Amino acid sequence: MMKRTFVTILAAACGLAVTAQNKKVQVYTTAQESSRHIAKTAELNFTEFRQPLETEPCVFIDPANKFQSFTGIGGALTDAAAETFAKLPANKQKEFLTAYFDADKGIGFTIARTNIHSCDFSSGSYTYVADNDKELKSFSIAHDQQYRIPFIKQAIAAAGGKLPLYASPWSPPAWMKDNNSMLQGGKLKAEYRQSWADYYIKFIRAYEAAGIPVWGLSVQNEPMAKQRWESCIFSAEEERDFIKQYLGPTLHKAGMANKKLIAWDHNRDLLYQRASVILNDKDAAKYVWGIGFHWYETWTGGPMQFDNLRLVNQAFPDKNLIFTEGCKEKFSMDSVYNWSLGERYGNSMINDFNNGTVAWTDWNILLDEKGGPNHVGNFCFAPVHADTRTGELIYTNAYYYMGHFSKFIRPGAKRIAASSSRAQLQTTAFQNTDGSIAVVVMNTTDKKIAYRLWLDGKAALTESLPHSIVTLVVR
């Protein structure tokens, strides 16, 4: 057994052909019609099956064709999440951390996002400096020491001591903006561009001094949205110029060239236009690690626009795509068990990965029984809610749907070719660094569908239950 495992690892490392010979398939299932959640439901064997007929549904995988490397899956460690976590009893806090960050007992999150001073999911607006302090001499993260910093530290510990964290600002301080408010959009005043660039550096240094490494940062959360909460408008040209003239050089001067700088950080609808304006400028592009995106373009009534991801991936293959935020809006406790919550996550994740995305970050990792706290009443769903009145945790099926990816696809994995012969079976697949292959198959229909997992002329027969998601692990 040890010898075969070594050969498998060596073959994966050297890019040798992976076959179904002596392989088994472990099946993990979450399904609406049962109480199973990421439960091991079967172990399958491959048998000879050279040429499927059109009447024989298959999911084909081809490890010989590899695509992007996988960075991680995670969620946002916001003020709201931290404040809610602090209200839980100690045993529930431990349960929560294990559920999210333990790869064996939980779903093994491996990346996280946080906010630079306040966002809508804070109990109130605040910054880290005194008004009109252009030199940032008063800069202090004392506010975050109460809830957020202890929470992030516990998350890092639960993840085994390593949890790449990136930070996003929702708005500069009011006095730096032309509308003199952190809310309702507005723009950064020209005379404060350098001060604002310096602010990111101050934040990173302060968090790292507090024991929290910062992996990356985005330029501005949702730069085309005028919101009733913290927001700031940057046109594509304004973001490009801020990157190349201020933020990029300031990061490099501070010795932070290794921090992953993420542009856009907004919806897929304008994704290509924003990417093309910034990345076609070599003086801006040299500072940019990747393009971040959200899923809220569906506010128009249309579906998620995955083709825009594909186009950016094709046009700028040397840059990374990272999903930076998504959640179901307009919270209602009556809907926490709706199966559509998880299916929205599954649909997004499968298509985002198949179009080149390297990392996927959910929005709030935890919210309370009201979908907050949120200082402007913008209450939303999270994969896990805490009823702070009883101390209980409520797991929506979005948590389990994400787990079908995060638990089995680990950092460093490579996406491999995966093709379904039925539109009703959505799929993506990755090969991990240990040689194992994780294939995710989702069925959003009301029908049970028998199909075969096909690899190199052999296939394993299984079935997809109505409204289910499975991960098939080949090893």
> Does 463 participate in catalysis according to the annotation?
no
pLDDT above 90 coverage of the chain, percent? 95
Q: Can you spell out the DSSP letters for 414-426? A: EEEEEEESSTTEE
Tell me what the pLDDT averaged over the chain comes to: 96
Instruction: Choose the catalytic residue: 83, 222, 230, 343.
Output: 222
Give mean pLDDT, residues 72-97: 98
CB atoms within 10 A of CB 464: 24
Instruction: Choose the catalytic residue: 83, 239, 297, 325.
Output: 325
The domains found in the chain, sorted by start residue, are: 24-68+416-474 (2.60.40.1180), 72-411 (3.20.20.80)
Whether the predicted pLDDT of 349 surpasses 60: yes
Structure tokens at 192: 């404060």
Q: What is the pLDDT of residues 297-335, one digit of tens each?
A: 999 999 999 999 999 999 999 999 999 999 999 999 999
pLDDT higher at 4 or 286: 286
Give mean pLDDT, residues 105-127: 98
Element (H, E) at 266: strand 260-267
Going by their DSSP bridges, the two strands 58-69 and 72-76 should be labelled as unpaired
Q: What is the pLDDT of residues 156-184, one digit of tens each?
A: 999 999 999 999 999 999 999 999 999 99
CB atoms within 10 A of CB 160: 12
> Does 239 participate in catalysis according to the annotation?
no
Give mean pLDDT, residues 405-420: 98
Q: With a threshold of 0.85, does the pTM exceed it? A: yes
pLDDT higher at 17 or 195: 195
Residue 10: which pLDDT band, with cuts at 50, 70 and 90? Answer: very low
Beta-bridged to residue 96, according to DSSP, are none
The predicted structure's pLDDT at residue 21: 87
Residue 16: which pLDDT band, with cuts at 50, 70 and 90? Answer: low
The residue behind tokens 């009883």 is: 390
Q: What is the pLDDT of residues 244-276, one digit of tens each?
A: 999 999 999 999 999 999 999 999 999 999 999
